Structure 1
Amino acid sequence: MDIIPQIRAAMHTLLSTTTEAIAAAQQYVKRPDRAKFTPSTLVQTLVYGWLAQPTATVEQLAQMACRIGVDVSPQAIDQRFTLATADLLRQLVLASIQPVIAANPVALPILQRFASVRVHDSTSIGLPDALTSTWRGCGNATTGGGSTLKCGVQLDVLTGTITALVPTITGWN
């Protein structure tokens, strides 16, 4: 089975239809008649821009927007770095987990007697110091007191699907 076409189709749906649905539910666009960016073109700009260059500047992101078909200034992109955009992206990550990530199920006879066998793990990722004013942090030894993103993942071993993804930013102001 060739998985690349499946991933491509899932990414296309995620970065277009799913993004627009999430944005509509959270009333992300305040003035749709005046917006150059749609939620999906903004998300595509950020995703493709950061995939091409993980440390892309707003100028580089504006160039990516142009490639997508949206002519905007770097300031227009900078103005969209808001808590509403962060929430849109968070909800998009949560929506992306089910269709894209799945493992082969485990067929151990001893586990077959259970309806579900779930394995949970988490990790903490230190965030840049520039985010300290927004996310205070919890003062743990790993990050030296800075902000952290803790991400918990739960996998159902019997079905091979992720049943939960819980991103938590400690120290939210």
Structure 2
Amino acid sequence: MRRSRKITGSNFVKALLFAWTQNHSPSVEGIARAGYSHGLRISAQGLDKRFTPAASDLMRGVLEAAVAQVVTASHEVDIDLLNRFTAVYLADTSTVTLPTELETVWQGVGGSGNASQAAVKIDTCLELKTGQLHLGLLPGRHSDNRSPIAESVYEPGSLRLQDLGYFNLARMKEQDQRGEYWISRLRTRTQVLTLGGDPIDVPAYLHALSKQGIVRHERTVKVGASEHLNVRWLVWQLPEETAAQRRATMRDRAQKHGRMPRAESLAWCDWQMLITNIEPEKLTQDECFLLYGARWQIELMFKLWKTHGRLGYSHSEKPQRILCELYAKLLSVLVQHWIVLTGLWRRPHRSLVKGCQMIKEQSARLAHCIDDFDVLVELLEELADRFEQGCSLNARKKKPNTSQQLEAGSAFL
């Protein structure tokens, strides 16, 4: 008797999720084989026909239901610099380009050059102490500065480590009034004034500091032509090699838009400039620079997703399959992060790469116990024990890891 080829939403989702957990570049045959263990009795050719708008809508719905869950580590990371705040939030976005046929679903930037007509922007926020991860999907053309995460309201005493994509002085003023802290880079050509309201010629001011041999400097100023927001202005002269790289990047970006960078903008490349509303007694100048460097952790997470999770890569040329792959891979990295929270996140010197490799090695077992709560708990407890044994970063002397620097405070600066 021939088996039925009935396919349900449940086993379709499981097949995609665990196919990409085990092999981040599976063929349709590989997906079909993975689905066999979940009641997906269908040929590769038959499965390939199921990658339709309805299938991508299903996968998107499952992903949206997953990201709505709030999952945190049972134990917070115990590092003094982080413990001075109720929470420490890192926010950023990462864009994945899509086939032009999908522009009605996810509209890209478009226009001239290599800008994609279709793209999805992953609006991401990571809380450093508990590991809580929030993901949101936006059209590629959506501005970071208007994203839901940019507009989020957090608890008093929390800290935002913000990139220039979220730079908005009016909003930062509201955050300050609510008792939220932030550290941000200072956007080029932002008006800087003395506390008395007199404009400061920033390039001339920085040139004067350089002539005096001052490489680190702090001053309380007002910023914003209309906001006049009181901030600590922190400046740190960069090594010449780093400054040269910044100038080259600025010239390249300007050239792509058919213009030349301003001399004022090039002068700013010699300095790292931060503004913050944190009191000096709560965080010193060196500690501000050190803690702001922790923003790199969200960039490393994106790299992990794209390099190890193959997010944004596909061997297919079929738009709907590519879209299903995107949702499945995002769901996979989200589940993977939840597992990390069960036993690895509380370790300050954790290696997410090693942890994710360990999860991948156990993905077949994970797939088989996903519907058995008791067995799933046993596996998660086993993984937590395994994390203790072989998922730590190797300590470095010349270029210490971020966790080493945070734990040691300003010793490495």
Q: TM-score range by the shorter chain?
A: 0.5 to 0.7
Q: How does 1:22-61 map to 2 (within 5 A)?
A: 36-50=6-20, 51-52=22-23, 54-57=25-28, 59-61=29-31
User: What residue identity is the alignment partner of 1:118?
Assistant: Y
> Do the aligned partners of 2:120 and 2:137 also contact (CA within 8 Å) in 1?
yes
Residue equivalent to 1:108: 80
Which has the larger Rg?
2
User: What residue identity is the alignment partner of 1:107?
Assistant: I
Which stretch of the first structure deviates more once superposed, 137-146 or 122-131?
A: 137-146
Residue equivalent to 2:63: 93
Residue equivalent to 1:31: none
User: What residue identity is the alignment partner of 1:48?
Assistant: F
Deviation at 1:139, TM superposition (A): 1.4
User: What residue identity is the alignment partner of 2:51?
Assistant: F
- The whole-number CA distance in structure 1 between the counterparts of 2:12 and 2:93 is 29
- Over the aligned positions, Cα root-mean-square deviation in angstroms equals 3.9
Residue equivalent to 2:228: none
Deviation at 1:38, TM superposition (A): 2.7
The percent of aligned pairs where both chains have the same amino acid is 27
Q: How does 1:76-87 map to 2 (within 5 A)?
A: 76-87=46-57
Residue equivalent to 1:137: 108
Which stretch of the first structure deviates more once superposed, 96-105 or 65-74?
A: 96-105
SS in 2 for 1:43: helix
> Do the aligned partners of 1:106 and 1:159 also contact (CA within 8 Å) in 2?
no
Residue equivalent to 1:65: 35
- The whole-number CA distance in structure 2 between the counterparts of 1:46 and 1:147 is 23
- The whole-number CA distance in structure 2 between the counterparts of 1:52 and 1:89 is 18
Q: What TM-score do you get using the length of structure 2 for normalisation?
A: 0.27
Q: What TM-score do you get using the length of structure 1 for normalisation?
A: 0.55
User: What residue identity is the alignment partner of 1:150?
Assistant: K
Q: Does 1:167 align with 2:153?
A: no
